[in-house]
Amino acid sequence: MIDLHSHILPGIDDGPGDIEASLALAEAAVETGTTVMAATPHLRADHPRVRPEELLGRCREIAGRVAAQGVGLEIVPGGEVDLIWAQEATDEELRLVSYRQAGRDLLIETPYGRLPPRFEDILLAVAARGFRLLLAHPERSPTFQQHPERVAAMVAAGVLMQITASTLSGGGRRPARKLARDMVRDGLAHVIASDAHTTASWRSADLTSGVAAAADLVSARAQWMVTEAPAAVLAGEPLPAPPADPPARPRRGRLRRLRQRPG
């Protein structure tokens, strides 16, 4: 599986405090089936130690330590980009925090509070600079929870959506879980990621519980959201068509009533 959202780099944001904690996070990811993890530290004013020009070197350092431990995890550079930071960043800075520093795909952080005015306009202005955008954890936004039609409109405009695995599987608040499940069910979610910060259960690197929860809703599409879709993002290529799910079966009670209805 491919995890496009993690905070595995040590000592620069709110992820692991040291290299040992980063290695533990890498081991935990591999134990649950992850083979590729994007290091996406916060790019915003309250994390000044995250510097775009240093990210590749930091990724190579942790990747070397992971390999030396015999852990089979590929770590690729990226960033979780705050919209205010993105507006002020140069094109080169945005390239350095894009996936694989390829200048094609950006992970944009959804604000935790209510969305600022003209959020979508600002988002699409960043996209107009030549990037495809993946919006991180939109299900946590109170604004989107109250107005899910805004999520659908952004997807129609070409924005991709990343749902957090632990939210799907029951973690976090109920409105976030409901929106996450609705997005998966309605085909508005493209990627499941961990947003891993530590090995603690609520911030873990385990994708499997989220994939299982998604499979209860869209059995064929669930694996696609941690394999083919994120692989296309890392490659900067169009997402392949998701597999089609079989038609939903009538609920047992409804089926019994239909059978008992006189012809």
**236 lies in which domain range?**
2-260
* Interval 208-250: pLDDT, tens: 999 999 999 999 999 999 999 999 999 999 999 999 887 655 5
CA dihedral over 153, 91, 78, 235, signed as positive or negative:
positive
Structural contact between residues 15 and 41, judged by C-beta atoms closer than 8 angstroms: yes
Q: How far apart are CA 52 and CA 98, in angstroms?
A: 10
10-residue mean pLDDT profile of the chain (263 residues): values are: 98 95 96 98 97 98 96 97 96 98 98 92 96 98 97 98 94 88 98 93 87 96 98 98 76 46 45
Q: Which amino acid is at 52?
A: P
Q: How far apart, in whole angstroms, are the C-alpha atoms of residue 56 and residue 69?
A: 20
The four Cα atoms 214, 177, 37, 198 give a dihedral, to 10 degrees, of -130
Any residues with CB less than 8 A from the CB of 156 and at least 6 apart, and which? none
CA-to-CA separations, 155 to 128, 152, 160, 161, in angstroms, rounded: 15, 5, 6, 7
Residue 206 backbone zone (phi > 0: left; psi -120 to 50: alpha; other: beta): beta
Residue type, 48: P
| Measured distance CA(161)–CA(138) in Å, rounded | 7
Structurally, the chain folds into a number of domains equal to: 1
Provide the CATH number for the domain around residue 224. 3.20.20.140
DSSP 171: -
pLDDT tens digit sequence for 98-132: 999 999 999 999 998 899 999 999 999 999 999 99
